[in-house]
Structure 1
Amino acid sequence: MERRTFLRGAVIGTSAAAFGGTLMHGAAYAAPAQKGPGPYGALGTADANGIQLPSGFTSRVIARSGQVVSGTSYTWHNAPDGGACFADGTGWIYVSNSEISTGGGAGAVKFNSSGSITGAYRILSSTRNNCAGGATPWNTWLSCEEVSLGYVYETDPWGVKAAVRRDAMGRFKHEAAAADPVRKVIYMTEDESDGCFYRFIPTTWGDLSAGTLQVLKAGTATSGSFTWANVPDRDGSPTVTRDQVSGAKIFNGGEGCHYANDTVWFTTKGDNRVWQLNLLNSTYELAYDDSLVSGGGAPLTGVDNVTGSSSGDLFVAEDGGNMEICIITPDDIVAPFLRITGQSSSEICGPAFSPDGKRLYFSSQRGTTGSSSGGITYEVTGPFRS
């Protein structure tokens, strides 16, 4: 496999996702990434919250399922999952999905410039298994239903405007979404063992009410070129969307998705892979594969949600594994960034950086209890590199 240029990740701007930024690169290793020492050093002993962190980093609990968020009247939802941060004047908002079959939806926590909680509230209700999603450049949160023939809901992180179901984005087992402001499309993953990878092209950028749904076409290899083809019936009936286009590439359990600098990364849990689409030349390859880690003992397993930092590091959360968020650096090194102890029956969800890049939010979906009512949402603060 050719050595790749790893385009550096998120640029911290006015919203949660990375929409553009400075192009930098490194190529110390051939893709896919290999284990090595992380940029923050070894993990220390578990802190009072049961989290092992590198030196200089600290954690705090933001919210717990079934309990009122401190200083507010909002009871935090069960099974917190995908999330994102949005700038709010001098502060910010963290939104979080609820992956339960009845009620679902999403909630939000508002912070002031010092990081103190100033509010919490509901932004979406009466939906099903809201797993991951993605932020848009116009500061809305796309909350995705991880159910057969599920929908995407566009929500207001401030909780002022009513959420809107976006039928044009297709009906399938939605997982994550990532906005690409250069090509003016939204990429989407599908959580099926024979799922596909999609993009939605809005008729008008910034308005998701109408547009074209497409699926990625490519060969069966782990690298090569790709094209896009229109999905004839986005409602998935009578034929599901993943079976409508001949030559659509199959991915084993699509999960997280992240866009930055003409590159989109997404994870597949069925084979513990992180895929990379190079959008400038329409090629794809593996950014990580746990079965291709030299020397055994792959540091990252159970790949799930993914986000990026302003330094270009990818942060990949584990569903299972040993409850870590692992980092994949621009020079193709993969290493643990943090580990949650005592919660082996849970999964890590919703990693997202505050707009200034100094705080990382995420949840343990089932916490210490192993139940959806035991979810815990955390914040980690420290010397994240920029």
Structure 2
Amino acid sequence: MLNYDYVIVGAGVVGCSVAYELSKYSHSILLIDKNSDVALAASGAAGAFLSPLLGKENLFKDLVTKSLIYSTKFYQTNFPQYFNPCGTTRIPKNKEDEEKFKSYIPYMDFEYEKDEQGYFFKIGSVIDSFNMCKAIIKSVSNHVSTKFNYEVSSIEYKDGKWFLNDTIGAQNIIFTTGSDVSLIDQFYLKIRSVWGRRIDISTSSTFKHNYHKECSISQSKSIDKINNFVSIGATHYRDKAGIDDIEANTDELIKKANDIKKLQDIKILNHYVGARACSIDYFPIVGDIIDEKKTLKEFPYLKNGTKVETKRFTRYKNAYILTGVGGRGFVFAPYLANLLVNHIVNSAQLDKNITIDRLFQREVKRIK
């Protein structure tokens, strides 16, 4: 039996970020994943483009802004070799979109300048998603153990400890499994999978920075005297059926990219597909997992809409979650991991807009 203070289930960018933050407080951490390495699902398929959320002031935009500031500094300070702060031009899709852009100008959180196609934001960047996750875990390898190709089939809490498959014991368990929340059997935990695609290409075209319109195009990197490496990414598909035709969807991405900048002498190098985990209200899901059965047994009138202080809800002992980061995984992950670990270790309070409590309160009213 292997025993740890913390076991993190899921080794995408969220799980790697949580492991990084926990390593500041513990040397007894295990990161596990059913795949053979980190970032082999949604995180590895991500285009990992970081740019501001445009719009008028609202709580979600505020969260994205805080996350972008924190995560940009995190990547640039600790892992600059996999972080490219080249800037991003955001291009309106049409005249109506252009008018929206103009109306957002008083609410811009970051410096920008008008360029030939849209609005250039210096803070925009792009990340080498797979190698970034590898680097994060390598940097804490003295404190964090890893176990890959490990499929969790059973989880049980007994005698003050969590047991996984009767082979691993943990004082604390943290679920960072993205869109797959099947290990957490709670009716209120509803996740929407929004499928995204990324293709890596070689092209003779060159781009001085990132561009975003209906898809994102990365700054070009030289391969040889003629060809350059470029990534193109988009997260648009509500179900997997929409991306099963690889050839058709590759053509669609190329078409959208050509609407931004003309691509010459294209050769497809790689294509990636991943399911982004989205909550119903788009906010991330962070915090202590609520035991729905025990909470409803104690407060059955919750079904009628009666309010109960969330601190009175029954929680699973030392069980936490961080998911629902959608298409902004690399923006949210470092910032939210810091908040969650600070909550776990130092009992810091989490913002009510990101806690799991809001989902429980919403869904419990729908019980007949």
Q: TM-score, normalised by structure 2?
A: 0.24
Q: Which has the larger radius of gyration?
A: 2
Q: Which has the higher strand share?
A: 1
Q: Which has the higher helix share?
A: 2
